[in-house]
Chain A
Amino acid sequence: MKSSRILILVAVLVLSLTPSITKAQDVSGILSFLSWYTQDWYQPLLDAFLERYPDVEIDYQNVPPAGGQYGQRLQLLASSGELPDLFYVQPPTTLLAQNGHLADLSHLDVVQALPEGFTALYTHDGSTYAYAPDAWIGGVFYNKALFAENDIVVPETLADLLAAAAVFHEMGIKPISFSADNLADMVFYGHNTEVLSQDPGFNSRIDTGEVTFTEGYLDAFNTWKTEWVDTGYVSQDMAAITDPQRFEEFAVGEAAMTISGPWAIGGMLETNPELDLGIFSYVGTTADREYTIGAVNVGLAISSQAQNPAAAEAFLNFLGSEEGLGIYQSITGNFLGVEGIDYDVHPVMEPMRAVGASGNFAFPPVFWTNLGTLFPMFVKGSQEILLGVLTPEELVAELDAKQAELMEGGG
């Protein structure tokens, strides 16, 4: 009797293990993978996956996101029918999904485990096409030592922030260091605190033509111009400074603040290990309008024509496991959308954990289907306003005209 019980127990154990063993055995061959994370960064996750699935060989290709390189490569691969099995996509994925390049991932347990806020950007007509379990949240990094030396406390309103900027400007220190590429962030912040905090769905309605850039962004541009550009707090040199250069300026104490996300922390502390770094959420005209920049991270999609869909799905399932998510979070440093998993963020980012939980963050362009055309216009236009060759009114009018043209289906 005892031996038969043991046999039954062994049989149950074997049967319970069989599916996963079979799965691991079934999953083999080459998994082609296009990523915008460098392989050095990503290797811990690849190693853990390969340990579970030793018969898989990963052909990992990295294309950096800088200068739109990743998007260009992805677009070329899609148009030539050469998409890899697994690849990162950034919202909006409307065109890729509508034209049948993405496999439907809605049936995967790991996708179903995500809260709606993490799948909505990658969902079209009821199907989810990418798996993004994490979100980045940005804020205003500040030099705590500089703030303390000048008796400046963390701003709670825009007026406080401008008062702090005035003190640093007077001292010959840049209040906030910007690069040519992130000049527009301040406008997005202004839009977030003054428009999105009251109307979170505003940017989704730009695509339908119900609202315009003039309605949602003109005030933010005008505030930015009068309060930051005209006062000299945002200076002309920023129209040609690169991201590494502005981070360096901030790290060595030539600027008191800069706007970015968790990915910038390592580089700044490497430049100056003594930097006393803090972060706060961007502030609105009133203290209750806390609404920072952030978005669901880039997501992993599977090609509808994947050569090895089993391995691609196995990778997503592994990524969505407790082990996979733990490793992934340590790579991206972002906040996870899956409940019940403990994880650490960089100590500097801890103040943003509450903002992440509140959901009061957004990066408006990800809601624009025509992001590829409109976002560069937004960035270049911000530079031109800083240079004095364009007015905020002219820029939002151009954006509205372009959006109208694209909605008409201009090729």
Chain B
Amino acid sequence: MSKKTLVQSFGNELPWLLLVAPAFLIYTVLTIIPLFHTFFYSFTNFNGLAPNPDFVGLDNYLRVFSTRAVSTSFSNSIVYAVAVPLIITLLAIPLALLLDSQMRTRHLQRAIFFFPSVISALFLGYIWNFVLSPSSQGLINSLLLSSGQRKMLLLADPKAAMALLILVTVWTSTGWHSCFYLANLQVIDQALYEAASIDGAGAMQRFRFITFPNLAPAMTISVLFLLLNSLKVFDLPFSLTEGGPGYATTMVTQSIITEGINSNRIGFASAMSIMFLALIALVTFFQVGVMSRREEKLA
């Protein structure tokens, strides 16, 4: 390409580049530069206060999984990030079908199901903590006690705590994710359904061979958001369980903040962040790759 063509090409793209520039600048300042800083600190013993940290090589990385709280938080995050997308996807699709029906109350239903995703997750966590508290003052336990039943451990049982955290997340986010599917349902060509009906296809067959394959684009996006948000979740577990009991619901993000900020171990927390970033990138890359190929196959 000649110099003249290059200049001409740049001139053509300049207006677009100028439009992108503010966003690029903000993204660079708020994400790219901190990311490089984090990468640098991960090789040091920076405590957030001393101006000249020492270089410690790979020490921080080697130490990540030898800390029990940290390794537990990694496995908790993985359990949560597998369960939440799976359950929400299984519920969001039928919900979208229901909301797409011609019922008179469909607009009201959409508002009701969408509502939990509007409220701050922190606030929801505190509300659900009151509902699910093992105390006799908790909503469920006070109802049980008033009906002569024994109270339950609920959030004080490590396994139940994780299950309840997942349940609350599902309650919070299913309505929002059904919107992806709802939007997708509304662009499916109705002629396909008419043709299938003429051929004698039943409701299940229409769903299996028309609706479900055509929801593939929505599913790719929804599952991507679910995976990312589940891996990065902080606010809901923090307000609902504070990561407890013990470390039963402590997520990686909470560990990073505890280790990095509360404990003045920025270097160690930076190494955790970089490893976590690598995990997220790997999972996302794999998920998008697999689901995009699925979309192409079904198209």
**Interfacial residues, chain A to chain B (CB-CB below 8 A):** 67-68, 71-72, 75-76, 78-79, 95-96, 98-99, 101, 180-181, 236-242, 245-246, 248-249, 252, 254, 370, 372-373, 376-377, 380-381, 383-384, 386-387, 389-390, 398, 405, 409-411
**Interfacial residues, chain B to chain A (CB-CB below 8 A):** 44-51, 53-54, 56, 59-60, 63, 68-69, 129, 133-138, 151, 153-158, 161, 238, 241-247, 257-259, 261-268
B156 contacts A380, C-beta separation under 8 Å:
no
How far is A109 from B134 in the complex, measured between Cα atoms in Å?
51
The interface residues of chain B lying within 8 Å CB-to-CB of A181 are 242
Provide 5 A-B residue pairs closer than 8 Å at the C-beta atoms, listed in order of the A residue.
A78-B48, A240-B245, A245-B137, A380-B244, A410-B63
The interface residues of chain A lying within 8 Å CB-to-CB of B268 are 410-411
The interface residues of chain B lying within 8 Å CB-to-CB of A96 are 49
A411 contacts B133, C-beta separation under 8 Å:
no
The interface residues of chain A lying within 8 Å CB-to-CB of B238 are 67
Checking A76, A79, A180, A410 against B244 with a beta-carbon cut-off of 8 angstroms, the contacting residue is A180
How far is A58 from B55 in the complex, measured between Cα atoms in Å?
41
A240 contacts B54, C-beta separation under 8 Å:
no
B129 contacts A242, C-beta separation under 8 Å:
yes
The interface residues of chain A lying within 8 Å CB-to-CB of B54 are 409, 411
Checking B45, B49, B245 against A411 with a beta-carbon cut-off of 8 angstroms, the contacting residue is B45
How far is A99 from B53 in the complex, measured between Cα atoms in Å?
11
B49 contacts A383, C-beta separation under 8 Å:
no
Min C-beta distance of B87 to chain A, whole Å: 23
How far is A236 from B262 in the complex, measured between Cα atoms in Å?
27
B48 contacts A249, C-beta separation under 8 Å:
no
B155 contacts A373, C-beta separation under 8 Å:
no
Min C-beta distance of B114 to chain A, whole Å: 29
Checking A71, A249, A373, A409 against B259 with a beta-carbon cut-off of 8 angstroms, the contacting residue is A373
Question: Quick one: closest B residue to A271, CB to CB?
Answer: B137
Min C-beta distance of A229 to chain B, whole Å: 13
How far is A238 from B133 in the complex, measured between Cα atoms in Å?
10
B138 contacts A245, C-beta separation under 8 Å:
yes
B156 contacts A237, C-beta separation under 8 Å:
yes
Question: Quick one: closest A residue to B268, CB to CB?
Answer: A411
How far is A387 from B157 in the complex, measured between Cα atoms in Å?
8
Min C-beta distance of B258 to chain A, whole Å: 6
Checking A240, A372, A390 against B264 with a beta-carbon cut-off of 8 angstroms, the contacting residue is A372
Checking A72, A241, A376, A386 against B135 with a beta-carbon cut-off of 8 angstroms, the contacting residue is A241
Min C-beta distance of B274 to chain A, whole Å: 13
Min C-beta distance of B217 to chain A, whole Å: 40
Min C-beta distance of A33 to chain B, whole Å: 21
B47 contacts A237, C-beta separation under 8 Å:
no
B262 contacts A410, C-beta separation under 8 Å:
no
B265 contacts A95, C-beta separation under 8 Å:
no
B134 contacts A241, C-beta separation under 8 Å:
yes
How far is A95 from B46 in the complex, measured between Cα atoms in Å?
12
The interface residues of chain A lying within 8 Å CB-to-CB of B60 are 410-411
How far is A109 from B90 in the complex, measured between Cα atoms in Å?
69
B245 contacts A79, C-beta separation under 8 Å:
no
The interface residues of chain B lying within 8 Å CB-to-CB of A75 are 48-49, 261-262, 264
How far is A237 from B132 in the complex, measured between Cα atoms in Å?
11
How far is A384 from B248 in the complex, measured between Cα atoms in Å?
9
A180 contacts B49, C-beta separation under 8 Å:
no
B244 contacts A239, C-beta separation under 8 Å:
yes
A372 contacts B262, C-beta separation under 8 Å:
yes
Min C-beta distance of B191 to chain A, whole Å: 55
Which 9 pairs from chain A and chain B are nearest by CB?
Answer: A411-B267, A411-B45, A237-B134, A239-B245, A240-B156, A373-B263, A372-B263, A240-B155, A384-B246
B262 contacts A72, C-beta separation under 8 Å:
yes
The interface residues of chain A lying within 8 Å CB-to-CB of B261 are 68, 71-72, 75-76
B262 contacts A376, C-beta separation under 8 Å:
yes
Min C-beta distance of B59 to chain A, whole Å: 7
The interface residues of chain B lying within 8 Å CB-to-CB of A99 are 49-51
Given contacts A99-B49, A248-B137, 9 further A-B contacts (CB under 8 A): A67-B238, A237-B153, A240-B244, A245-B138, A372-B263, A380-B244, A381-B246, A383-B246, A410-B268
B69 contacts A377, C-beta separation under 8 Å:
yes
The interface residues of chain B lying within 8 Å CB-to-CB of A241 are 133-135, 156
The interface residues of chain A lying within 8 Å CB-to-CB of B265 are 373, 410-411
How far is A409 from B44 in the complex, measured between Cα atoms in Å?
10
How far is A252 from B60 in the complex, measured between Cα atoms in Å?
49
A411 contacts B242, C-beta separation under 8 Å:
no
Question: Quick one: closest B residue to A373, CB to CB?
Answer: B263
The interface residues of chain B lying within 8 Å CB-to-CB of A373 are 259, 262-263, 265
Min C-beta distance of A2 to chain B, whole Å: 65
How far is A400 from B59 in the complex, measured between Cα atoms in Å?
19
How far is A238 from B153 in the complex, measured between Cα atoms in Å?
9
The interface residues of chain A lying within 8 Å CB-to-CB of B136 are 249, 254
B45 contacts A410, C-beta separation under 8 Å:
yes
A411 contacts B59, C-beta separation under 8 Å:
yes
The interface residues of chain A lying within 8 Å CB-to-CB of B53 are 411
Q: A79-B49, A242-B129, A411-B267 are in contact. Are A71 and B246 (CB under 8 A)?
A: no
A383 contacts B262, C-beta separation under 8 Å:
no
How far is A296 from B157 in the complex, measured between Cα atoms in Å?
36
How far is A18 from B257 in the complex, measured between Cα atoms in Å?
51
How far is A72 from B265 in the complex, measured between Cα atoms in Å?
12
Question: Quick one: closest A residue to B261, CB to CB?
Answer: A72
Question: Quick one: closest A residue to B51, CB to CB?
Answer: A99
How far is A8 from B61 in the complex, measured between Cα atoms in Å?
76
